[in-house]
């Protein structure tokens, strides 16, 4: 900061001292001063009007606060953003650089906010798509933050809600099959209902894991596990066989059928749940179905 040989009124010195600063010299032009911070002693450039109207802020002390806040949040402060001084660049625990406002670091350190690395998040979304036979193209062309644009293996591009991609509740608009024609599964789940104990659920789905995790409301506390899954040629076949088996079980073992009110308190359904004592019977029935040739 080259000094300029211009007078400095005594009142300016008094004002600077009141605000914890010391005037070193006039610099750059007639509108700027070099002030030494009363805390760290390092100089910085400020407008004379800022000294008069407000409390000058030492950029060196401010940067030290940002470093400390970043360390508290588990990140490493790297540098201020030269394009927007209200932002800074940090190194996240994953090793990638992220751009955030320093106030966000204080919120993360206090546990009031979380950090999501955009690079890692994009990689997770791409991996999700790949596991389903799709390629992530980019953000939704219609601007909906819940949707992404994907391309199927057949070449068809389609908007899909990310939640639907994660749970498998969608199909390709070009080569996909409706649920009744698509391959499906008969399944048996084992879980623990508070206030009752071990129970089992018999059902059918195109994706039993997705149904268990996302559609039935089965929380970790219920300890749900997929016990048996029997492939069926179509959803229509699976539905027909499931309904036939439920009728048989309710007719022969009415005492094992759980009441609706006991189920509805914990799951997003009100039927198809039986006492765990019926599990061997249901497994035997499913094994019989698996051995029966498709008609």
Through-space distance between the first and last CA atoms of the chain, rounded to whole angstroms: 89
Say what the pTM is.
0.53
Same-domain check for residues 284 and 196: yes
Same-domain check for residues 52 and 67: no
In this prediction, residue 265 carries a pLDDT of 75
Which residues does 37 contact at the CB level (< 8 Å), separation at least 6? 20, 21, 43, 44, 58, 60, 61
Same-domain check for residues 254 and 198: yes
Nearest to 198 by CA among 227, 160, 167, 175: 227
Q: How far apart are CA 244 and CA 288, in angstroms?
A: 13
- Does residue 122 fall inside a structural domain? no
Torsion of CA 30, 36, 37, 42, to 10 degrees: 120
In this prediction, residue 18 carries a pLDDT of 95
> Helix, strand or coil for residue 266?
coil
Which residues does 54 contact at the CB level (< 8 Å), separation at least 6? none
Q: How far apart are CA 36 and CA 29, in angstroms?
A: 18
What total of structural domains would you count in the chain? 4
Nearest to 269 by CA among 197, 215, 206, 233: 215
- Does residue 175 fall inside a structural domain? no
In this prediction, residue 214 carries a pLDDT of 60
In this prediction, residue 279 carries a pLDDT of 95
Nearest to 257 by CA among 242, 238, 277: 277
Among 137, 167, 197, give the residue marking a domain's end. Answer: 167
Does an H or E element contain 122, and which?
helix 118-131
Same-domain check for residues 66 and 104: yes
Same-domain check for residues 44 and 70: no
Is the CA virtual torsion 15, 17, 19, 22 positive or negative? positive
- Does residue 20 fall inside a structural domain? yes
Q: How far apart are CA 191 and CA 178, in angstroms?
A: 30
- Does residue 172 fall inside a structural domain? no
> Helix, strand or coil for residue 287?
helix
Task: Spell out the per-residue pLDDT of the chain, length 295, in tens.
Answer: 789 899 999 999 999 999 999 999 999 999 999 999 999 999 999 999 999 999 999 999 999 999 999 999 999 999 999 999 889 999 999 999 999 999 999 999 998 888 989 999 999 999 999 988 899 999 999 899 899 999 998 888 989 989 888 877 777 877 766 656 678 899 999 888 887 889 999 998 888 877 766 666 566 667 888 889 999 988 888 888 999 999 999 999 999 998 888 787 777 676 788 999 999 999 999 999 998 865 4
In this prediction, residue 154 carries a pLDDT of 87
- Does residue 178 fall inside a structural domain? no
Contact, 78 vs 88, CB < 8 A? yes
Q: How many residues does the chain have?
A: 295
Domain span at residue 26? Answer: 3-57
Which residues does 138 contact at the CB level (< 8 Å), separation at least 6? 148, 149
Label each residue of 214-244 as H, E or C: HHCCCCHHHCCEEEEEEEECCHHHHHHHHHH
Strand order in the sheet with 197-205: 225-232, 184-193, 197-205, 273-275
- Does residue 10 fall inside a structural domain? yes
Contact, 229 vs 205, CB < 8 A? no
- Does residue 173 fall inside a structural domain? no
Nearest to 34 by CA among 18, 19, 51: 51
Same-domain check for residues 189 and 282: yes
- Does residue 43 fall inside a structural domain? yes
Give the count of beta carbons closer than 10 Å to the beta carbon of residue 89: 15
């Amino acid at each position: 900061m080259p000094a300029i040989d211009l007078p400095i009124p005594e009142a300016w010195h008094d004002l600077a001292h009141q605000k914890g600063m010391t005037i070193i010299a006039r610099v750059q032009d007639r509108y700027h001063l070099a002030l030494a911070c009363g805390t760290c002693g390092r100089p910085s450039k400020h407008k004379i009007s800022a000294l008069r109207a407000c409390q000058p802020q030492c950029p060196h002390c401010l940067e030290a606060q940002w470093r400390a806040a970043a360390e508290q949040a588990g990140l490493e402060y790297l540098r201020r953003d030269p394009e927007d001084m209200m932002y800074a660049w940090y190194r996240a625990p994953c090793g990638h650089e992220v751009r955030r406002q320093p106030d966000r670091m204080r919120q993360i350190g206090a546990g009031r906010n979380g950090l999501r690395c955009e690079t890692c998040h994009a990689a997770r979304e791409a991996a999700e798509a790949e596991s389903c036979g799709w390629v992530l193209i980019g953000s939704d062309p219609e601007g909906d933050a819940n949707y992404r644009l994907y391309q199927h293996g057949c070449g068809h591009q389609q908007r899909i809600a990310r939640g639907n991609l994660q749970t498998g509740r969608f199909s390709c608009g070009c080569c996909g099959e409706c649920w009744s024609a698509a391959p499906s599964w008969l399944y048996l789940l084992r879980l623990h209902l508070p206030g009752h104990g071990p129970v089992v659920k018999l059902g059918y789905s195109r994706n039993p894991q997705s149904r268990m995790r996302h559609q039935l409301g089965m929380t970790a506390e219920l300890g749900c596990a997929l016990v048996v899954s029997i492939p069926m040629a179509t959803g229509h076949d699976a539905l027909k066989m499931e309904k036939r088996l439920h009728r048989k079980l309710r007719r022969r073992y009415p005492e094992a059928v759980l009441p609706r009110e006991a189920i509805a308190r914990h799951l997003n359904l009100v039927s198809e749940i039986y006492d765990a004592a019926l599990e061997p019977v249901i497994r035997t029935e499913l094994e019989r179905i698996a051995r029966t040739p498709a008609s």
